[in-house]
Amino acid sequence: MKNLLFLLAFLFTYQISNAQLFSKEKVLNLENFDKKFLTWGYFLGLNNYDFNFDYNTNLSDIQTEKSVGFNVGLIGDMRINDHINIRLEPGLIVSNRTLTYNEGYFQGLTFQANDLEREVKSTYIHIPLLVKLSAKRLNNFKPFVVGGISTALNLSSNEDNPDDNSAGQFRTKKSMFFYELGLGIDFYLHWFKFTPSIRGVFALNDELVRDTDTNSPWTSNITSMKTRGVFLNFTFQ
């Protein structure tokens, strides 16, 4: 799925940039747009979240079945100079993952088929603070790289639920912290600036809430469970 997202973004940006580079039309759109100290916009996009596990013992890896989620949010951009901007991008991120355990986790225990799977639904209020480093504008497009840190509040978290996996509840924490790295291209169209971008998101803290039973087959072998993912966003300013 990650490869598909990257391919779609590449084909889309290539088509537009190719037209910009080889077109005889060189009239600059929104010529003074980047001279503003503050600009605003919004973004729509897709995400593909995964988990990165570290284990205590050498059992089979827990498999993560991923699905494509969606992103929506606002953008506040502050110009530092021609090549550096500070960005705040608060948004709503929705994702869904299914964990599948190997039967080896339940060795010596009685279990049902549904004990081997746990669904993890996440709805994040995601707030990144980013530094955008841009190249020199060429005609009507400008490539950039972006990086920074972010925090997220998981509205779907069941951290405070007294029930755990023994009652079918796989629990995750409310508060998460990430670092982010990405790249994109600003396209200056006649009426607005359009920006496709790809960004990787990597959790800094463990998201797992462990079961009450220290020998729980679902959580006892997990040293850490950290979210990682990729965003494909389309920004309008």
* Structural domain boundaries in the chain: 2-12+38-236
Predicted local confidence at residue 108, as pLDDT: 85
CB 114, CB 106: distance < 8 Å? no
Predicted local confidence at residue 27, as pLDDT: 84
Distances (CA, A) of 43 to 54, 73, 223: 33, 5, 35
- How many Cα atoms occupy the beta-carbon half-sphere of 157 within 13 Å? 16
| Among the listed residues 90, 86, 91, 72, the one whose alpha carbon sits nearest the alpha carbon of residue 38 | 86
CB 188, CB 208: distance < 8 Å? no
CB 198, CB 230: distance < 8 Å? yes
**Residue numbers of the chain with a pLDDT score lower than 70:** 1-25
| Among the listed residues 139, 233, 235, 140, the one whose alpha carbon sits nearest the alpha carbon of residue 189 | 140
Helices (H) and strands (E) in the chain, counts: 1, 10
Predicted local confidence at residue 13, as pLDDT: 53
Name the 3-class secondary structure at 172. Answer: strand
The secondary element (H helix, E strand) that includes residue 179 is strand 175-188
Burial zone of 184 (CB within 10 Å; 0-12 exposed, 13-18 middle, 19+ buried): buried
Predicted local confidence at residue 155, as pLDDT: 95
CATH number of 2-12+38-236: 2.40.160.20
Predicted local confidence at residue 18, as pLDDT: 52
Predicted local confidence at residue 58, as pLDDT: 87
pTM as predicted? 0.82
Residue located via tokens 């990682």? 228
Phi and psi torsions of 211, nearest 5° = -70, 160
pLDDT digits (tens, 9 = 90+) for 208-218: 999 999 999 99
Phi and psi torsions of 161, nearest 5° = -70, 125
